[in-house]
A and B are shown apart, each in its own frame.
Chain A
Amino acid sequence: MTAAETLRDEILQMKRRRQLYSAGILVFLIAIVAGGYDQANDMNSGNFLNGLTQFFDYPGEIVAEAWDAGADFPALLVRFLPALIETLNIAAVASILGGLGAMVFAFLGASNLSVWPPLVPVARRMMDVMRAFPELIIALFLIYVLGTSPVPAMIAVAFHTTGALGKQFSEVNENIDSRAVEGLGACGASWLQRMRFGVLPQVLPNYLSYFMLRFEINVRASAILGFVGAGGIGTELRRTIGWGQGSGDETAALFVLLIFSIFLIDQLSSWMRQRISRTEAVT
């Protein structure tokens, strides 16, 4: 057998093995999904096929009741506006406080900025824990201690944001061009000056784009935490849904407000991020 033939055989064999692996993984995935759905269907109180037929009942009911409300519907939207503002406030404050915390952690956790080297792994682990800690648990605990109020949700979301944004910020910090910092150092700039003139101008645009994305995520999280008693639009939703039939128009109004504001924030944040990356590319 010539060398070329051996090589060809080897490649073919490798290809076959790869195909076998891929097929195996695919079969495994499908088995998990299929088995999982079967299991989930068994555990569920409602049956999948039954549910499928009822799937449009609820949205249909809400839309019908909203339609019946007719001219009163815009008034409902206005009535629930304060709840929406509360949810947005929760998200905004949580993003700001979490963002500030994230900046501190990001500087401590970036290995190239040498704030204090022994602290780098500590800061990173702390960010991991804050990121992984379920918001629900903090919110429920604080609601129990502080009572029903937007503050528990705000603290819970801010805590998670510190970890999540901190990780992204510290990755931004580690990817900066070190020449600016070194140049400033060569001119005799202090640590604070190096950060202020060498690091911040490089990282702030990226910070801002991650921040906008996080704000959108936080609006969703704040709305959902309202449902367990943290105030805002979620609490209103739980109330109207709890009343059952007859309050479909109010539920619909809340849905419209929530969907509309999320859509708006989504558009705003992606527009801002695009602008930021475009100015980045130019400079």
Chain B
Amino acid sequence: MTGVAMNGADMMGQAERRTIVRSVRRTARIGFGLLALMFVYLTYTWFAFDVPTLIDSAKPERAALLATDSVAYKVHVTRMLRRGTTAIAVEGERTATYSTPPDWIATDGDVLTVDLDDGYVARVFPTSVILDVPNYGSIRIAVQDGRVITDLPPGNRPDWLRVNDVKFDARPDLKRRVQVSRAKIEVHRYFLGWENFFFPFNSPLKAYSFGELLSLTFSAARLDPEVANWHLIYRTFWENPDWQHGNVFVALLETLLMAVLGTFTAALVALPLAFLAARNFTPSRTLRFFVRRLFDFVRGIDMLIWSLIFIRAFGLGPLTGALAIAFTDTGTLGKLFSEALENTDRKQVEGVSATGASKLQIYRYGVIPQILPIFISQGFYYLESNTRSATVIGALGAGGIGLMLVETIRTSRDWENTLYIILLTILLVIAMDAVSMRVRRRLTGGTTPP
């Protein structure tokens, strides 16, 4: 700071220098004052949001669980103690039960030896389990007289064990888990990947490789005599009960439809209204005032309230979301368009009217070419931001991918499904962003409108 002032000092009078330094100091003081104010405000909100309690009550293990669960799947080995039945199934689902045990499970009469990898082995007997833990020893858990009895090896008890009379739960790390209750023994082993992503567990198509599937698609010999091969493959994939590709796709389409319809409608309605709100096209002050207040009104009500009203009136679906977006953005776009119209160049309009053009021709050749790039670029900018809004409106209850996301998170059953939906949503929004940016760059050089 002083370096700059010193260099200039020779040229300026002492008094001038002092004035400049004083004004610089004054702005610096204002700046620091504002920073201090901001700091005070942030401290206030730190306590208003109750961040200390939040840090205490946060469940970071949920984040870890979510992270592993969304990229891994588990195979359940379940023994029902009362009925004496045993089942090996992906995610414990009845539709995904192994008829012959996978190679990491050895059966010997009533005894199952489950290799849990990394030296962990669980031996499942009719009413008890022995869990071998490396560097610790063998834990024996038995169910007797309606109680869960646990024998631990000597030494310190590890903190990943939860033991009481009715339940035993061991989760040494994220890759394996053993639970025993009075009714059943359950052993989980985790595997990386998204299981049955393409075809359901028991589909005959699962046995084929990608190349074989490709040749099957074009072969005349039918796997299923009822339908053609390509149709069978498509249907099996699309109707996969675990991943529901079809439903997810329809939900994405609904969200996209909300955004596209809402934005287009808003733009088409806002354009003629914008002429009525622009000073240089509408001489009537009352009419202008009225139209501008209308823009303020629909904008001020906010998308949240519009959505709630439309959900009540039209129920679940893309129409609801489209109308909520259309109403809010008619106000926003109308305001922007009318400002653009007021900034149009008079010279072009006068030039066209000097040729004896009619009023309609003046608009067509004098005004529209000037505002069309702004009109389209603003429209596309809002199309992108509305795709994001449409996911939120969906979550409020209008349907589409937003609602699907909220529901899968709320049931918190299969996080890999949630991750799948999240990835597709992000892809959709980023694709819309790229399209909108490309169009805007071609039209106006790509500046971001406010």
User: Do B257 and A39 touch across chains, with their CB atoms under 8 A apart?
Assistant: yes
Residues of A within 8 A of B313 (CB): 46, 51-52, 54-55, 57-58
- A108 close to B (CB within 8 Å): no
Residues of A within 8 A of B448 (CB): 167-168, 171
The chain B residue sitting closest to A224, CB to CB, is B304
User: Do B319 and A59 touch across chains, with their CB atoms under 8 A apart?
Assistant: no
User: Do B426 and A132 touch across chains, with their CB atoms under 8 A apart?
Assistant: yes
Q: How far is the CB of A90 from chain B (nearest CB, A)?
A: 8
Q: How far is the CB of A93 from chain B (nearest CB, A)?
A: 5
Residues of B within 8 A of A33 (CB): 261, 264-265, 268
Contact of A58 among B7, B312, B396 (CB under 8 A): B312
Kindly state the interface size class of chain A when it binds its partner. 35 or more
Q: How far is the CB of B292 from chain A (nearest CB, A)?
A: 12
User: Do B319 and A136 touch across chains, with their CB atoms under 8 A apart?
Assistant: no
The chain B residue sitting closest to A193, CB to CB, is B4
Among residues 1 to 23 in chain B, which have CB atoms less than 8 Å away from a CB atom of chain A?
1, 3-4, 7-8
- B92 close to A (CB within 8 Å): no
- A6 close to B (CB within 8 Å): no
User: Do B304 and A220 touch across chains, with their CB atoms under 8 A apart?
Assistant: yes
Binds A, one of B46-54, B94-102, B209-217: B46-54
Q: How far is the CB of B370 from chain A (nearest CB, A)?
A: 15
Contact of B304 among A40, A167, A188, A223 (CB under 8 A): A223
User: Do A132 and B316 touch across chains, with their CB atoms under 8 A apart?
Assistant: no
Q: How far is the CB of A216 from chain B (nearest CB, A)?
A: 10
Contact of A89 among B45, B260, B409 (CB under 8 A): B45
- A2 close to B (CB within 8 Å): no
- A133 close to B (CB within 8 Å): yes
- B74 close to A (CB within 8 Å): no
Interchain CA distance A150-B425 in the complex, whole Å? 24
User: Do A225 and B392 touch across chains, with their CB atoms under 8 A apart?
Assistant: yes
Among residues 28 to 51 in chain B, which have CB atoms less than 8 Å away from a CB atom of chain A?
38, 41-42, 45, 48-51
User: Do A144 and B66 touch across chains, with their CB atoms under 8 A apart?
Assistant: yes
A47-88 toward B: CB 8 Å interface, digit per residue (1/0)? 110011011011100000000000000000000000000100
Interchain CA distance A86-B320 in the complex, whole Å? 28
Residues of B within 8 A of A234 (CB): 304
- B111 close to A (CB within 8 Å): no
- A96 close to B (CB within 8 Å): yes
Q: How far is the CB of B357 from chain A (nearest CB, A)?
A: 15
Number of interface residues, chain B, beta carbon within 8 A: 73
Interchain CA distance A258-B265 in the complex, whole Å? 25
User: Do A227 and B304 touch across chains, with their CB atoms under 8 A apart?
Assistant: yes
User: Do A145 and B59 touch across chains, with their CB atoms under 8 A apart?
Assistant: yes
Residues of B within 8 A of A188 (CB): 3-4, 7
Chain B CB count within 10 A is highest, among A48, A54, A93, A137, for: A137
- B447 close to A (CB within 8 Å): yes
Residues of A within 8 A of B7 (CB): 187-188
Q: How far is the CB of B206 from chain A (nearest CB, A)?
A: 31
Residues of A within 8 A of B317 (CB): 40, 43-46
Among residues 223 to 275 in chain B, which have CB atoms less than 8 Å away from a CB atom of chain A?
250, 254, 257-258, 260-261, 264-265, 268
User: Do A40 and B303 touch across chains, with their CB atoms under 8 A apart?
Assistant: no
Residues of A within 8 A of B310 (CB): 51
User: Do A220 and B405 touch across chains, with their CB atoms under 8 A apart?
Assistant: no
Interchain CA distance A128-B426 in the complex, whole Å? 12
- B450 close to A (CB within 8 Å): yes
Q: How far is the CB of B277 from chain A (nearest CB, A)?
A: 15
The chain B residue sitting closest to A149, CB to CB, is B54
Chain A CB count within 10 A is highest, among B24, B257, B296, for: B257
Instruction: Given A39-B257, A144-B409, A188-B3, check contact A134 B429 (CB 8 Å).
Output: yes
- B63 close to A (CB within 8 Å): yes
Residues of B within 8 A of A190 (CB): 3
- A20 close to B (CB within 8 Å): no
User: Do A43 and B254 touch across chains, with their CB atoms under 8 A apart?
Assistant: yes
User: Do B49 and A151 touch across chains, with their CB atoms under 8 A apart?
Assistant: yes
User: Do B426 and A134 touch across chains, with their CB atoms under 8 A apart?
Assistant: yes
- B290 close to A (CB within 8 Å): no
- B60 close to A (CB within 8 Å): yes
B292-336 toward A: CB 8 Å interface, digit per residue (1/0)? 000010011111110011101111111110100000000000000
The chain B residue sitting closest to A96, CB to CB, is B38
- B433 close to A (CB within 8 Å): yes
Interchain CA distance A58-B1 in the complex, whole Å? 63
Q: How far is the CB of B166 from chain A (nearest CB, A)?
A: 27
Contact of A263 among B300, B304, B425 (CB under 8 A): B300
User: Do B405 and A59 touch across chains, with their CB atoms under 8 A apart?
Assistant: no
User: Do B60 and A145 touch across chains, with their CB atoms under 8 A apart?
Assistant: yes
The chain B residue sitting closest to A190, CB to CB, is B3
User: Do B314 and A37 touch across chains, with their CB atoms under 8 A apart?
Assistant: no
User: Do B392 and A171 touch across chains, with their CB atoms under 8 A apart?
Assistant: no
Instruction: Given A144-B412, A197-B4, check contact A258 B305 (CB 8 Å).
Output: yes
Contact of A37 among B45, B261, B392, B396 (CB under 8 A): B261
User: Do A237 and B54 touch across chains, with their CB atoms under 8 A apart?
Assistant: no
Residues of A within 8 A of B312 (CB): 54, 57-58
User: Do B406 and A228 touch across chains, with their CB atoms under 8 A apart?
Assistant: yes
User: Do B49 and A154 touch across chains, with their CB atoms under 8 A apart?
Assistant: yes
In the complex, 11 of the A-B residue pairs with CB atoms within 8 angstroms, ordered by the A residue number, are A40-B258, A40-B261, A40-B319, A44-B319, A47-B314, A54-B313, A92-B41, A131-B433, A137-B425, A187-B7, A224-B396
A96-B41, A151-B49 given; name 9 further pairs at CB < 8 Å.
A36-B264, A43-B250, A44-B315, A51-B319, A132-B384, A135-B388, A140-B406, A144-B412, A259-B301
Chain B residues proximal to chain A, CB less than 8 Å: 1, 3-4, 7-8, 24, 38, 41-42, 45, 48-51, 54, 57-60, 62-63, 66, 250, 254, 257-258, 260-261, 264-265, 268, 296, 299-305, 308-310, 312-320, 322, 384, 388, 391-392, 395-396, 399, 402, 405-406, 409, 412, 422, 425-426, 429-430, 433, 447-448, 450
Chain A residues proximal to chain B, CB less than 8 Å: 29, 32-33, 36-37, 39-41, 43-48, 51-52, 54-55, 57-59, 86, 89, 92-93, 96, 128-129, 131-137, 140-141, 144-147, 149-151, 154, 167-168, 171, 184, 187-190, 193, 196-197, 210, 213, 220, 223-225, 227-228, 234, 237, 241, 255, 258-259, 262-263, 266
Q: Which 3 A-B pairs have the closest CB atoms?
A: A44-B317, A46-B315, A45-B315
